[in-house]
């Protein structure tokens, strides 16, 4: 029995959000109608976990007799010899182990119908993944025995061989709870004004809590970009994730949130930084998760229940003694509020808005509120209606309130008017705070470009659209675009708009990313859009001919095929603009990226180290030790795997 680590086991998350946008009725500009858009955000969570590999070799030394009706029954028992349930059914939640045949050589089945030909050997490997309940939470691990019964027929005579059990220790496992957070009001261009307002980024937050007795190792969540799945009014609106931050670290442009290890009874937090091109309000927010049946489905899932969703009030910072410096999530909780801390603490927050007042004039105000032990939240009308910013807030005992815990916001009322607010979050309070307002910077500000959606056209079909920008300082922006496709024109009209016009010719099918720039002479704003020219599809398989010729060299492939065997059809690869030739799944040590580890990988690794083969010709994701290089560790790993000596690492 071989312990494994590294097998890719993932949970697929799906976040569904409904977004309302208020649009003006132009016969009565003060009136509005509500448009609704539904977006979907797909994510994949992976983490390392324990698994085992069972291996059996059946040797038929007879030179002229076939072994028929070959069957293998893998059995499991506890340390007292009592049988325990193992199942290949991913929905059998009573099983303590999930088992499936991982590979077979020189035999087509082991269910009682297999055949081993004369003078040959059959090789069978099973993947075994323990269910969360198999460890009993024991730190030293729980002992189990794994054996097998082999049956076969020789000349219609049945033979049975009992394989001596081997032992395994199932270690404690993590138990993951997911909480997602999203604000209700988000801000982009206001459909009720002529000027173009800047887009304000907002967080899509997650807290990953480990309630189990084992460490969640190397946990990662990778997000896809938001996808609009319902847009009945056909709004020109865009949602985008621009980057992420994890556990308070500096944000990066990556969609991958790498949490590292999460110890028992602790948690990790992350936020994806999102934008929306139009101001509006999220009104529904749900999340669901599915598990790969091939790796145990519900049996082996380490995620507890369905992810919970919350509407975020603000990402704040609980600054009590002993707390960390990572932002926490202040969110709605029923009719009240709760703060979900990065220290794995959930505490209800007292809403003191109704008992609080804000009085003053000019730039200095006093916020009066009842003394409170514990966390409190106050939301009051902003006397400056968003025209000033908060410079500082000081509590009457001299404590300076962190900038994260005092903020301004706005939302529309039932008459489509903006309501402006000032909010405060604090703990163990006094009865008053001094709030100092200030004027926003009057310095130069860059132009604001209107959202530019991606577009798709066929060859010889005209494409035209307007690009629009405004400048907060009153300057009329100048436009440029690069790189322009051959034959395309981009004309600056000199009035804050520019026109793109292109009729792609035959043979220009392809994908054209274009950057559009608006400049006021000092500062500039840039937006990118992708224009896809689909070309002809002479074989009507849903994939453009130019794309098939580019990757396959012919039109022989169809949309239902899976040329690289990665589980995504050729049509899916075409629609998602991914490579249909190379699989998206990467195996550590598979330097040649052909889907398995062989002596060829070790040879290729040695040639790379010696400089005979260029680094660009190998697949760096086959890296074993995390240094993003192909070196002797990868060569040794490949050789050990070929020889059967390698201990791997399995990931959920």
Angle at 487 between CA 482 and CA 489, to 5 degrees: 55
Query: pLDDT of 38-93, one tens digit each?
Result: 999 999 998 888 899 999 999 999 999 999 999 999 999 999 999 999 999 988 88
The rounded distance, in Å, linking the Cα atoms of 35 and 22 is 6
What pairs with residue 393 in β-bridges? 435
The answer, yes or no, to whether residue 231 has pLDDT greater than 70, is yes
Which parts of 289-419 fold into alpha helices (H)? 297-300
Q: Which range has the worst mean pLDDT, 224-228, 285-289, 320-324, 619-623?
A: 619-623
Q: Are 76 and 144 in contact (CB under 8 A)?
A: yes
The answer, yes or no, to whether residue 435 has pLDDT greater than 50, is yes
Query: pLDDT of 497-539, one tens digit each?
Result: 999 999 999 888 888 999 999 999 889 999 999 999 987 787 8
What pairs with residue 116 in β-bridges? 67
Closest CA to 387 of 368, 360, 410: 410
Highest-scoring range by mean pLDDT, 169-173, 538-542, 635-639: 169-173
The rounded distance, in Å, linking the Cα atoms of 188 and 274 is 11
The residue with greater pLDDT, 413 or 652, is 413
3 state SS of 471: coil
Helix (H) or strand (E) holding 635, with range, is helix 632-643
Q: Are 140 and 213 in contact (CB under 8 A)?
A: no
Residues, the chain: 652
pLDDT recorded at residue 116? 96
pLDDT recorded at residue 627? 64
User: How confident is the prediction for the chain on average, in pLDDT?
Assistant: 87
Which residues neighbour 377 within 8 Å (Cβ) at sequence distance 6 or greater? 313, 330, 337, 349, 350, 351, 352, 353, 423, 424, 425
End-to-end Cα spacing for the chain: 20
Closest CA to 351 of 337, 330, 367, 339: 337
User: Quick one: tokens of 302?
Assistant: 């380490």
The answer, yes or no, to whether residue 577 has pLDDT greater than 70, is no
The rounded distance, in Å, linking the Cα atoms of 549 and 573 is 14
Q: Are 73 and 126 in contact (CB under 8 A)?
A: no
The rounded distance, in Å, linking the Cα atoms of 252 and 273 is 10
Integer angstrom CA distances of residue 501 from 486, 513, 531, 545, 561 = 11, 15, 12, 25, 37
Buried b (16+ CB within 10 A) or exposed e, 261-277: ebebebbbbbbbbbbbb
User: Quick one: tokens of 98?
Assistant: 């999930």
Structure confidence at residue 250 as a pLDDT band (50, 70, 90): confident
Q: Which range has the worst mean pLDDT, 78-82, 487-491, 541-545, 635-639?
A: 635-639
The answer, yes or no, to whether residue 6 has pLDDT greater than 50, is no
The answer, yes or no, to whether residue 174 has pLDDT greater than 80, is yes
The residue with greater pLDDT, 196 or 587, is 196
Q: Are 135 and 173 in contact (CB under 8 A)?
A: yes
Q: For 9, what's the count of Cα atoms within 13 Å in the CB-facing half-sphere?
A: 31
3-state helix, strand, coil in the chain (%, to 5): 10, 50, 40
Domains of the chain with CATH codes: 51-170 (2.60.40), 174-348 (no CATH), 352-438 (no CATH), 448-533 (2.60.40.10), 599-651 (no CATH)
Q: Are 340 and 346 in contact (CB under 8 A)?
A: yes
pLDDT recorded at residue 635? 78
What is the 3-class SS of 150-183, one letter each residue?
EEEEECCEEEEEEEEEEEEEECCCCCEEEEEEEE
Structure confidence at residue 133 as a pLDDT band (50, 70, 90): confident
- pTM, two decimals, is 0.76
Structure confidence at residue 251 as a pLDDT band (50, 70, 90): confident
Phi first, then psi: what are they for 602, rounded to 5°? -65, -40
């Amino acid at each position: 029995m071989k312990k494994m680590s590294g097998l890719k086991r993932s949970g697929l998350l799906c976040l569904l959000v409904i977004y309302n946008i208020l649009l003006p009725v132009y016969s009565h500009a003060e009136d509005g109608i509500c448009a609704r858009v539904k977006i979907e955000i797909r994510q994949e969570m992976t983490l390392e976990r324990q698994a085992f590999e069972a291996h059996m070799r059946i040797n038929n030394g007879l030179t002229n007799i076939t072994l028929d009706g070959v069957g293998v029954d893998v059995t499991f028992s506890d340390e007292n010899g009592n049988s325990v349930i193992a199942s290949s059914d991913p929905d059998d939640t009573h099983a303590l182990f999930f088992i499936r045949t991982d590979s077979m050589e020189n035999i087509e089945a082991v269910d009682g119908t297999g055949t081993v030909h004369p003078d040959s050997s059959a090789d069978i490997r099973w993947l075994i993944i323990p269910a969360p309940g198999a460890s009993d939470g024991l730190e030293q691990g729980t002992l189990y025995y794994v054996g097998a019964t082999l049956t076969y027929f020789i000349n219609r005579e049945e033979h049975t061989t009992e394989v001596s059990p081997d032992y395994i220790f199932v270690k404690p496992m993590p138990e993951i709870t997911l909480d997602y957070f999203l604000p209700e009001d988000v801000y982009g261009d206001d459909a009720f004004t002529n000027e173009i307002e800047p887009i304000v980024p907002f967080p899509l937050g997650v807290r990953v809590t480990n309630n189990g007795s084992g460490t969640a190792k190397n946990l990662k969540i990778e997000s896809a970009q938001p996808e609009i799945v319902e847009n009945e009014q056909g709004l020109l609106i865009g949602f985008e994730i621009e980057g992420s931050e994890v556990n308070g670290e500096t944000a990066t442009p990556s969609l991958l949130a790498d949490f590292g290890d999460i110890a028992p009874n602790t948690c990790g937090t992350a936020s994806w930084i999102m934008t929306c091109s139009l101001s509006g309000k999220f009104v529904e927010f749900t999340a669901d998760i599915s598990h790969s049946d091939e790796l145990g489905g519900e049996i082996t899932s380490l995620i507890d229940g369905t992810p919970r969703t919350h509407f975020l009030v603000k990402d704040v910072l609980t600054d009590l003694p002993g707390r960390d410096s990572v932002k926490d999530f202040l969110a709605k909780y029923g009719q009240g509020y709760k703060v979900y801390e990065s220290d794995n603490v959930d505490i209800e927050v007292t809403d003191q808005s109704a008992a609080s007042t804000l009085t003053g004039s000019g730039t200095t105000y006093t916020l009066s509120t009842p003394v409170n032990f514990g966390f409190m939240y106050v939301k009051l009308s902003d006397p400056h209606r968003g025209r000033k910013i908060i410079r500082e807030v000081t509590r009457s005992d001299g404590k300076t309130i962190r900038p994260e815990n005092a903020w301004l916001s706005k939302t529309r009322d039932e008459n489509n008017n903006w309501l402006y607010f000032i909010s405060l979050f604090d703990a163990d309070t006094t009865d008053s705070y001094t709030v100092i307002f200030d004027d926003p910077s009057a310095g130069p500000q860059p132009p604001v470009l209107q959202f530019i959606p991606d577009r798709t056209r066929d060859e010889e079909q005209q494409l035209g659209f307007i690009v629009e920008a405004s400048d907060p300082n009153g300057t009329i922006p100048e436009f440029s675009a690069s790189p322009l496709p051959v034959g395309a024109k981009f004309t600056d009209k000199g009035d804050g708009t520019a026109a793109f016009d292109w009729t792609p010719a035959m043979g220009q099918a392809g994908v054209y990313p274009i950057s559009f720039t608006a400049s006021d002479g000092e500062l500039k704003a840039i937006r990118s859009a992708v224009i896809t020219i689909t070309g002809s599809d002479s074989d009507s398989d849903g994939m453009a001919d130019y794309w098939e010729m580019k990757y396959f060299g012919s039109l022989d492939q169809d949309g239902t095929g899976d040329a690289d065997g990665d589980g995504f059809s050729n049509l899916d690869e075409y629609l998602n603009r991914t490579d249909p030739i190379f699989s998206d799944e990467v195996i550590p040590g598979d330097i040649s990226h052909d889907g398995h580890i062989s002596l060829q990988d070790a040879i290729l690794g040695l040639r790379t180290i010696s400089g005979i083969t260029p680094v660009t010709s190998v697949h760096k994701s086959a890296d074993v030790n995390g240094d993003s290089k192909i070196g002797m560790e990868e060569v040794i790993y490949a050789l050990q795997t070929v020889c059967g000596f390698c201990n791997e690492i399995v990931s959920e």
